[in-house]
Structure 1
Amino acid sequence: MSEIAPARKAGFPFGLTIAVAIAFAILCVLGGWQVKRLAWKQDLLARIETLKTAPPVPLAAVVTASATVESAAWRRVSVDCQPVGLPPLSLAYGIRDGDVVWRAQALCGLKDGPYNLILVDRGVVPDLTGKVETTARAFAEPGRVTGVLIPLKQLGGDRARAVAGIAGRSPAPLALMAESETPAPDGITPAPLPAEISNRHLEYALTWFGLAVTLLFIYAAMLWRRLRP
């Protein structure tokens, strides 16, 4: 009788090891990014919490030539808007508390500082809530506005480009989310900030790191079965 030849021992899976290493690195990078986002979100929520008691300061004292967008954002300010002599801006589509809303926006002329205008988000038009399409609405120009500064890009690329593209003007890289206006415009309800800002970055970070650890265990188990005597 012929002897049965022993099974060949499997070689080390170099290709699979490289693929696992790359996947592990990607998962760790994603987890680390979420940790950074967690720190950013915690700082943001802390700054928003201070807005509940912080008195407004003049816009010109916050938006200066040396101020960065990050240092000026989430500050409560007030400003007396100057006429800009430009066509009114159209309503902006948005989502608030799960409903379709239309937000009134206007350009506010600035008298002092490195910029000569700033975008003011005046709030939502209540009678248009839930409507997918709308027609143009005319509102009185803003007078004295008190509100919270946010980075202009946070409103969305289309709105930011529309303001930045005004010829011969120097718009601020921030938007003023109106909390109140004097005189108050008819037909607009101020809605400066969402009612609740979620913070699930720790959960996301743990998910990515958990997937990375799980990948290592699966790879180690596969390697042990492949190379054991």
Structure 2
Amino acid sequence: MHARARLIVADTVSDKKRGGLLGRVVGIVLVLVALAILLALGTWQMERLAWKEGLLASIAERRAAPPADLTAIEALDRAGEDVDYRTVRITGSYLNNKERHFFATYGGRIGYYIYTPLQLTDGQIVLVNRGFVTFEAKEPEMRKQGQLTGEQTVTGLSRAKLLEKPSWAVPDNDVAKNIFYWKDLDVMASSVGLDPAKVVPFFVDADATSHEGGMPIGGVTQFDFPNSHLQYAMTWYGLAAALVVISGIFIFKRKP
């Protein structure tokens, strides 16, 4: 009877050991999976950091370059190259009766960016972001001084057009009221009867020198590019290191 009891106790102890070993193996596997995920996230953020730094350097180089002719920017666009933030100089006459209004904030004020077609001597048309006007100055009669006539030379930055609404949270454009919440170049042009064959397939943001004083206020291009990828990467790598330390203590140092 005593031998049978000892056998049962021995079997119980053996089962507990096997169960404990299995638990450790499962725990190690789960830790390794979590560690792989954390390291992958950290590495992905480092790759994003390299991409963002390269983008910022490229934009800085484009902005510092001398203004190019429109034909050079068009050639880049046709070749599928990125035309964003390239300096350009164009000359033409504003079609002031066909301006479009893009809802925006600038300097802590609510208002609009004024997009006015500029007709070049060869018949091409460029939608130019002339700058910011306050909410009260939306209508042209409130800023008659800014309704420039005759031949104008505009220096600024080319901006690629958006192919679709950037987010579901962005309201739909109200074409009837001439209020745009996202820059749909094709609709902006067609809504005032511009010939799509003559409209250049990108915008130009005028700089501050293209219209000094009064409204619109030029030079409103935003260059705010958040770059927190390094902090994110360090967070993921830090969590991975903490996981290794805590898991090592828990799995290998715990008492039987």
TM-score range, shorter chain: 0.5 to 0.7
Q: What's the TM-score once normalised by structure 1's chain length? A: 0.67
Counterpart position of 2:232:
204
**Residue 186 of structure 2: aligned partner:** 164
Q: For 2:39 and 2:119, how far apart are their aligned partners in 1?
A: 46
Matched residue count? 215
Following superposition of structure 1 onto structure 2, how do residues 36-185 of structure 1 map, counting pairs within 5 Å? 36-50=47-61, 53-64=64-75, 66-70=78-82, 72-81=83-92, 87-94=98-105, 96=106, 99-109=108-118, 117-125=125-133, 128=134, 136-138=138-140, 140=147, 143-153=152-162, 157=166, 158-160=181-183, 162-165=184-187, 166-167=189-190, 169=196, 174-180=202-208, 182=210
Change in CA separation of 1:189 and 1:213 when aligned onto 2, cut-off 3 Å: same
Greater helix percent: which structure? 2
> What is the SS of the residue equivalent to 1:122?
strand
Query: What is the CA-CA distance between 1:76 and the residue it aligns to?
Result: 0.7
Q: CA deviation at 1:146?
A: 0.9
Tell me the amino acid that sits aligned with residue 73 of structure 2: V
Q: Does 1:189 align with 2:217?
A: yes
Query: TM-score normalized by structure 2?
Result: 0.62
- Of structures 1 and 2, the one scoring higher in RCO (CA 8 A, sep 6+) is 1
Structure 1 residue ranges, 4+ long, deviating more than 6 angstroms after superposition: 2-5
Q: What is the rounded CA distance, in whole Å, between the counterparts of 2:211 and 2:79 in structure 1?
A: 29
Q: Flag structure 1 segments of 5+ consecutive residues without an equivalent.
A: none
**Structure 2 residues not aligned, in runs of 5+:** 141-145, 167-180
The one-letter amino acid of 2:130's match is: R
Deviations 1:67-121 (A, max 9, x none): 3342x22211112245669742124223x56x244342314356599xx654432
